Structure formats: structure tokens, C-alpha cells
Structure 1
Amino acid sequence: MNEDSEPRPIPFRAMIPNAITAMALCLGLTGVSFGIGGEWEKALGAIVLAGVLDGMDGRIARLLRAQSKFGAELDSLSDNIAFGTAPALILFLWSLQTAPRFGWIAALSLAVCCALRLARFNARIDAADQPHKSAGFNTGVPAPAGAGLAFVPIYLWLITGNEAFRAWPLVMAWTIFIALLMISSIPTYSWSSIRIRSGWRLFALAGVALLGAALIRAPWHTLLVVALLYLAMIPFSLAGYARVRRRRASGAGRA
């Protein structure tokens, strides 16, 4: 057998981003196990940690120059489980199982819409014409953000102890609403669209540090505020993308 035909060894640095992605997947499933045991704070904490790891793996892969098609596929599968299937099961165990008929259908809607969103993203990843992406916007609500938004009723319940936030009609309507946002064509801000002026750099760093402290001291209050701010930003992202389209149209007209 020719030695040149043997598979080349994979450098350890190339495995680091995939290992982080696998950890995010495991945290998503661990959140389900906590939900089965009724440990709701731990269940949400596992999904939040999975979101943190999901935000790190791609950037670490680019930093180490370890991007691969395998890593992209693994990341998509991890997102589907950690931010689609796991939150759907947690919401079902927490509230939707008490619905007389359609609780499971509502939970499924979150998981299915997350899978459809990721499939749409993968199908367009090499497309030349991506108006939202080229302008620095996402199409619809990303999977990690969708999971965080879907947990808003649980945040409110943990903060107030009010069982009204656990009522299945409210949770069902909210879950379906977030599921539809995930597969919508609404432009939403992405990390690539955020630009920080040099004079505001220290303020931004201080804000990130304070956000981390707030997550440690009052995690559910902080996550609730972040979720509500994200929803409040959607009208601004719509207006911002409309301005980009008008600029492009005027530029094309002059050309």
C-alpha cells in the first residue's frame, strides 16, 4: 500500500473547536435531564452555558484556522439539539404537558422550527445572493437567541413565583410565537453588524464585565432583561435593514 494514501494525522488544535461544540451538545441534553428531575434552574443554566460555548466555537475555529466542513455540520446538529430539542422538552416538562391536547404539538413547533431554520441556513451558506448576511443581519431569530426567548415565562416564574406564568395557554402561545420568529424572514442584528467606536471601547468592556457580574448575582433577572431588549431591537433592525436596501437601490440606480 502506498504510504501517500494513508490519512494525514489531524493536529490537536483542529479538534478544540469541535470538542467545544460537542460540550455544548452535551450541556443541552444535560438540561433535559435536569428538567426531568424538576431542577429548573439547573436546566436553564445548562442551556445558557451551551449558548456561551456555541458563541465561542466558531471564533476559536477561525482563530486557530481550524474551520472544516465536519465542524460546520457538527455545529448545526449541536444547535438543533441544544437550542431546539432540549428547550422544547424543558418547556413541555415544565408546563405544556398539562395542556389537554396540543401541549406536545406546541413543544414540537419549537424543535421543528429550529431544525428548519438551521436547514435554511445550511442550504444558503454558499449562496452568492444573501441580502441579509451581506448587510450584516441574520434572517430570523438565531437558534441560541430563540432558546433564550422561549424561556421568558420560566424567567418570570423563577423571579416572581407566580404560577400564572406557568399556565399552559400562556406558555403555548409564547412558544409558538418564538418558533415562528425563528423561521421568519425578519432581519435581526448579528454580531458582524455591531460596530464600536474607538472612544467607546472601554465603556463596552466595562458593560460586558458588568453583564457577567449581573448574570452571576441575578441570572434570571439579567436574562429576562436581555431577552426583552433583544425583542425591543427587532423594530430597529427592520428599520436599519430598510435603510440599507434604500441605499443599495439608490446606488444601483445611479450606476
Structure 2
Amino acid sequence: MTAPTDRIRALLTVPVRDDSAGYLDVLDPPEAADSLSLRVMQNPLFAEVYERAWRPVFTRLFSLGGASTAVQDRTLTAHLSRSGDRKVLDVACGPGNYTRRFAAGLTGDGLSVGVDFSAPMLSRAVRDNSGARTGYVRGDAHALPFADNTFDTVACLAALYLITDPFAVVDELARVVAPGGEVAVFTTVRTRITAVPGLGVLNKVSGFRIFGRHEITDRLAAAGLVDIEQTITGQGQFVTARKSPQTTSR
């Protein structure tokens, strides 16, 4: 089987600037991040502890210490990791934990691609979550380096609330998914708890965003996706949608 990086290179619509770290880098050298959350994500130390310490605690916080968010996460991940000859894109993949899982059931020419802007996160992904059907790209989620209708499954899980312009990213998810394909998002949602006075100031300073109940679903619908389903667990929302099989390229 051809190496994942070679197969991913064939899908890119922009040139690769560097591949020496084991992932395909299509961006200029990293610039200083403009928010606290983005600076943290680019910190090599945080990349080291993300899966073992930060992510389990953070997932619990979504359901205020309960297990509902973790249960829904496992259910969605199992679905997205199902068997099949599919191309899967994991947007804002971090250290590649989901990316590797999505590859578990792939068959034939199936391929799981992780995209992230953080070099430390991608270095961790290459080290810990590589595989025969898994590879990584350092790219911009606001302008994904792939053609329209490229992937059968496109996911952005536990990341959209940290991205500078999240609605542009939602549009990109819809653009690169193939007709008949699926989009999956896990992110924050505004509730009585997360709407408390003063929290908006903290969100602005940190770069952490809490979405209104209909912001993500409405944006997916505006992008032309159908069969939109939303499941709210605690302070988080899982949203799935599909691109109509009759959709044509832009």
C-alpha cells in the first residue's frame, strides 16, 4: 500500500512546503498566536499532556463531572470509525487521537487525514497516532487545502470553540465533504450555566467560544447540508449532517 503521506499529497490543492517532520506542511512558519487558547495549543508541553491529562478532565467538565458527554463521544466515534472504503478528514485534529480511531475500520483505499495548525500537536500525532491509513497535514482549517467534495466523512471534534473564525470552518467542512457524505461536529453550547454574567469577558480574553443553540445547525443548513441532528449533553453539543447526493461542485 502506498504511504499515507504520498496519498494525501495527491489530494492537496496547494504545494507542500516541508515534510521533514513526518507530516505535510502547507503553511508558512508559525506566527505568534492571537489568543490565550491558541498559544496554549502551540505549546510543546501542552501537546505532551493533552491526551493523558487535559482532554479527560475537559470532557468531564462538559457534563459537570458526569459521563453523558463521554458516552455520546464514544457512540459518535464508533460510528465514524465504522468499516468501509472511505476517505475521512479530521479537522483541528490535535495529537491525532480521533484521526487514528477513524482509521481503525477502513478498508480498501480508505484513508484518515488529520489537519491542524499546531506543529507540536502534529509532531505528537506522527509519533503516537500514525498508521498505514493515517497521515497528517499542517494546514489552516479556515481554508482547507483540498478540493470540493473530496472526503466521505469530515469531522471537527472538541476544537471549534477555540478557532478564530469558526463559521468559516463550518463552511469548509461542508465544502470538502462529498455528496452523500457526512459532517460531524462536537463543540460547546450555551445553557443557563454557561450564560452566567461575566463569562463572556472570560471567553473573549481566552479565545474560548460558547455557541448559541442554533448557530452551528443553522450554519450547516445555510451551507446546504441536510438531515441535521443535534444532541445536547450538558454544556456540549454533538451535531451531524449530510451533504445531499444531488449536490454538485461549486
Higher strand share: 2
TM-score normalised by the chain length of structure 2: 0.26
Higher helix share: 1
Between 1 and 2, higher relative CO (CA 8 Å, sep ≥ 6) is seen in 2
Structure whose alpha-carbon radius of gyration is higher: 1
